[in-house]
Amino acid sequence: MATHMERATSGDVRADYLDFAHTGPGTLAGQFMRRFWQPVHVAADLSPGHARPIRIMGQDYTLYRGESGEPHLVAFRCAHRGTQLSTGWVEGDCIRCFYHGWKYDGSGQCVEQPAEDAGFASKVKIGSYPVQEYLGLIFAYLGVREPQPFPRYPEFEGEGVMGVSSYVRPCNYFHNLENGLDNVHVLFVHRGAPGSESYLDLGVPRIAAEESDWGIKERVQRRDGSEQVIEGGMPNVLYIPGQGIGNRGTKVDFLAWRVPVDDESHLTFNVNIAHLTGEAAEQYRQRRTQQADNTAAVATELARAVLRGERRVGDFMDHPLLVNIQDTVAQLGQGVIADREHERLGRSDAAVILLRRIWSREMQALAEGRPLKQWTRTSAARARWALH
């Protein structure tokens, strides 16, 4: 039976509640996303004394780590003549502009202007944003309101082997967000990928999805009676407890955030933990090292060749980036921003449909000034421990 999400006939306003793709300033989805802490950088990739330009949801910022090791996030440009601040110098916990040496502290306050009279600096302040380092990522709160409490993931704080990585994919973030809750794709997209064979043997699963305190709880029911629970944490988190593709039997808990760079590309931040210690941890660590490396650009280029019709996915069955290439083909294959008006959704899309319903409901509440649901991960974590 086909279930198609209806668009209202009452015009453009309701239609906006289905526009999850555009998150620039002034968009409804962008306002919604800015109510949540978002990872913006892998912590290990920013050394003390270094600055980096970053773009999140179509807006540019300057991320830098003070010589103290503290991360700071301030406006992209110097207030004086608009030069990009990341090109300047980090001094203590301040950043000095490359062009005329204006210096700002982590709160955005200008504290020095070498060629100006005293008294001017105190009148100049640029934007700054709360940041927090957690699970190997730097998170930021980019909204205009008071930040919500910082969400924690207790089971990732315990003993074990952590993996932290990120990659860019040149399509809208919502493709990837939906893809994570779309378990059926594994049977086709990842056909032949290491680790996916076991799923294939179990045949096409049945998908059930329900709303939880944290977002969505998706039950993937196999023919042999086994069940996997995947969670979609609002607004853009994927949580797969227990096991994922390519982990060769080791129990690994996964978290992934899909964060828009702009409407046409997004970052994924992955954190995973294998609950191993001692010798087992060491062996696992060594195995993983060989898979590391930021090779998203390579996967993207090969996927593009497939999309141009010059190569086939089957050419890359032995490629170390096979899983990424496969996902990139599927997601870029939907276009840069997927057309969600001409789909034919079915019962296997239950989790995707629910995700959109919740987003749409919350965006409408936001637009109408009504209170939003306060998402909490408590019960989600409970559910996870119960399954183990």
Candidates 58, 147, 320, 346; binder of its own copies (CB under 8 A) is 346
Neighbouring CB atoms inside 10 A of 374's CB total 8
Which residues, in sequence order, are CB contacts of 278 under 8 Å at separation 6+? none
43 binds its own copies (CB under 8 A): no
- For residue 118, the minimal CB distance to its own copies (Å) is 10
The three-point CA angle 341-324-256 to 5° equals 75
For its own copies, give the closer residue by CB, 247 or 300.
300
**Per CB under 8 A, which region of 264-272, 274-282, 347-355, 378-386 contacts its own copies?**
347-355
309 binds its own copies (CB under 8 A): yes
User: How many helices (H) does the chain have, and how many strands (E)?
Assistant: 10, 18
- For residue 55, the minimal CB distance to its own copies (Å) is 10
Please name which of 240, 220, 208, 237 lies closest in space to residue 375, comparing C-alpha atoms: 237
204 binds its own copies (CB under 8 A): yes
6 binds its own copies (CB under 8 A): no
User: Encoding tokens for residue 256?
Assistant: 């992934």
**Per CB under 8 A, which region of 23-31, 139-147, 273-281, 304-312 contacts its own copies?**
304-312
Q: Would you call 286 helix, strand, or coil by DSSP?
A: helix
Candidates 74, 131, 252, 313; binder of its own copies (CB under 8 A) is 313
- For residue 19, the minimal CB distance to its own copies (Å) is 16
From residue 146, alpha-carbon distances to 47, 141, 150 in Å are 28, 9, 11
Distance, in Å, from the CA atom of 199 to the CA atom of 221, rounded to the nearest integer, reads: 11
Please give the single-letter amino acid code of residue 194: P
97 binds its own copies (CB under 8 A): yes
Distance, in Å, from the CA atom of 21 to the CA atom of 29, rounded to the nearest integer, reads: 7
DSSP H or E segment with residue 360? helix 350-367
CA 313 to mean position of chain CA atoms: 25
For its own copies, give the closer residue by CB, 184 or 281.
184
348 binds its own copies (CB under 8 A): yes
Please give the single-letter amino acid code of residue 162: M
Please name which of 290, 311, 314, 291 lies closest in space to residue 301, comparing C-alpha atoms: 311
Candidates 24, 44, 48, 87; binder of its own copies (CB under 8 A) is 87
**Per CB under 8 A, which region of 146-154, 272-280, 331-339, 362-370 contacts its own copies?**
331-339
Q: Where are the beta strands (DSSP E) in the chain?
A: 38-42, 51-56, 59-65, 71-75, 89-91, 94-96, 103-104, 110-112, 128-129, 131-134, 137-140, 161-169, 206-211, 215-221, 227-233, 237-240, 252-262, 265-274
**Per CB under 8 A, which region of 22-30, 51-59, 253-261, 372-380 contacts its own copies?**
51-59
- For residue 3, the minimal CB distance to its own copies (Å) is 10
319 binds its own copies (CB under 8 A): no
Candidates 40, 73, 189, 321; binder of its own copies (CB under 8 A) is 189
Number of residues that bind its own copies (CB under 8 A): 61
- For residue 123, the minimal CB distance to its own copies (Å) is 7
For its own copies, give the closer residue by CB, 28 or 110.
110
- For residue 199, the minimal CB distance to its own copies (Å) is 13
Chain residues 224-263 in contact with its own copies, contact rule CB under 8 A: none
Interface with its own copies (CB under 8 A) = 1-2, 50-54, 77, 79-84, 86-87, 96-101, 113-117, 119-120, 123-124, 182, 184-185, 187-189, 204-205, 207, 306-309, 312-313, 329-330, 333-335, 338-339, 342-349
